[in-house]
Amino acid sequence: MLYDPQAIEQWSGGQWQGEAPERITGFAFDARQLKPGECFFALSGGLRDGHEFVAQALLKGASAVVVERILPLDIPQLVVTDSLRAMGKIAAGIRSRFSKPVIGVTGSAGKTSTKEMLYAVLGPERTHATAGNWNNRIGVPMTLFGLDARKEDYAVIEAGINQPGEMALLGQMIAADLCIVTMIGAAHLELLGSLEGVAREKALLADFAVSDSPIILPNAALQYPSFRKLARRAIVLARQGEVIFGNPRVVVHYERSDAGPGRSCLRLEGEEFPECFELASRSHGICSNAALVILAARELGLDLGQVRERLSVWRPAPARGCVAESEGRWYYIDCYNANPSSMVDAMAAFAASVDESTPRCYVLGAMNELGESSVEWHRSTTAQLAPRAGDCLYLVGPKRLTTAYRDGALEAGWSAGSLREAENAENLKSFVAEREGAIFLKGSRSYALEMLLPETLR
């Protein structure tokens, strides 16, 4: 791909010093990964100032650099006030020239799996999507830089935030033609403050979307004023019997039932939907998000029979609600991240997947960024976890949070002898290795629970 240096200058709000480069073939913010012909962004807000690596970028073959101050180097330099903001503005400019549907995905949990399901449904060969969870102020621009209407019919862009103000910036870049919101839950409360604060920020993705474009979301999200004001655009997913919040444009009811070991059947109300969409998960959260994907596919005019086929072969990504077997043990692996809603959902999916005769071992890592109510969130999470004879519960994290987990577990009927606490997963390796049956792993990423898996599953 080639990018117009003059358009980049105009979008960025900066100015080329001397002559502009003849050509730009891509963008990079890490000099180690830069390819010849690409433009290097010298980002100044991290642990290291990106301006220190401009010389390295030059040696790697950079065609130009975006900087906040002129450097004594022989390379075209686009001088801007803020390199990160310039990155976002350039990304927004590139997105404005992409004429195909852009779907924005956000929510407190399940963003990445929802994005991956939609990517599979739309067809990977003709869809551009966020890689991994590159969903922040660097990842979103880097994703948008790759838009190419000659090769792609759709783009699926994941948007994640942890503080006020970020979603407004991401929403302006993405300018979605359709938005999906997975859920509103207790995540990043340290800076977002409350569930209302989470909802207010997440709703900005739709606020900055194309005018009057649809937003697909679960009914529970409409209890928040920030989403209720969008009701006229809302395509709402609700379980049978739910009281509907507000007055949404469309309501589609659904139900989930078991469809064999580790599988669910989704049924959506409406003659146009196939009788059953099978999915390789017992997680109610994943199934709800799959239903949101089905509604998005319908809105985009896809053949729902083909959607059913593609969902039936989709599998959760490693460490995101996947199941695996090794050495006679069965593992439920969901240790990429955690918040109270996703933890409760994953524990329920695990419990439903293990037969009565199989002993269960729950390994719960602490949940980060929950703010002042962190202790109560941990206590209330394990208070919902009912034990069974032979079960054990291992808790990983800071003492005050594992103690809160412990208090909730004792309320739920766990015996003190079945509980064990540790500050890090390393200290539990021998205990987990001795367990038989089924093992559940979930916690915030920093606790690295994957180290408790056999080498073959890591």
Bridge partners, residue 365, by sequence: 396
Q: Who contacts 129 (Cβ-Cβ below 8 Å, separation ≥6)?
A: 115, 116, 118, 119, 143, 155, 156, 157, 158
Number of helices (H) and strands (E), helices first, in the chain? 16, 20
**pLDDT, tens digit (0-9, with 9 covering 90-100), for 155-172:** 999 999 999 999 999 999
**pLDDT confidence tier of residue 24, bands split at 50, 70 and 90:** very high
**pLDDT, tens digit (0-9, with 9 covering 90-100), for 304-360:** 999 999 999 999 988 889 999 998 899 999 998 999 999 999 999 999 889 888 999
| Encoded amino acid at 346, one letter | A
pLDDT of residue 317: 86
pLDDT of residue 207: 98
- CA dist 76 → 9, 145, 163, 393 (Å): 12, 20, 34, 59
Parallel/antiparallel/unpaired status of strands 15-17 and 77-79: antiparallel
**pLDDT, tens digit (0-9, with 9 covering 90-100), for 397-427:** 999 999 999 999 999 999 999 999 999 999 9
The arithmetic mean of pLDDT across residues 373-377, rounded, is 97
Q: SS3 string of 321-364?
A: CEEEEECCEEEEEECCCCCHHHHHHHHHHHHHHCCCCCCEEEEE
pLDDT of residue 132: 85
**pLDDT, tens digit (0-9, with 9 covering 90-100), for 424-447:** 999 999 999 999 999 999 999 999
CA distance 20 to 6: 8
Q: Strand, helix or coil at 12?
A: helix
Average pLDDT, the chain: 96
**pLDDT, tens digit (0-9, with 9 covering 90-100), for 260-291:** 888 999 999 999 999 999 999 999 999 999 99
If phi over 0 gives left and psi between -120 and 50 gives alpha, with beta otherwise, what is residue 246? left
pLDDT of residue 262: 86
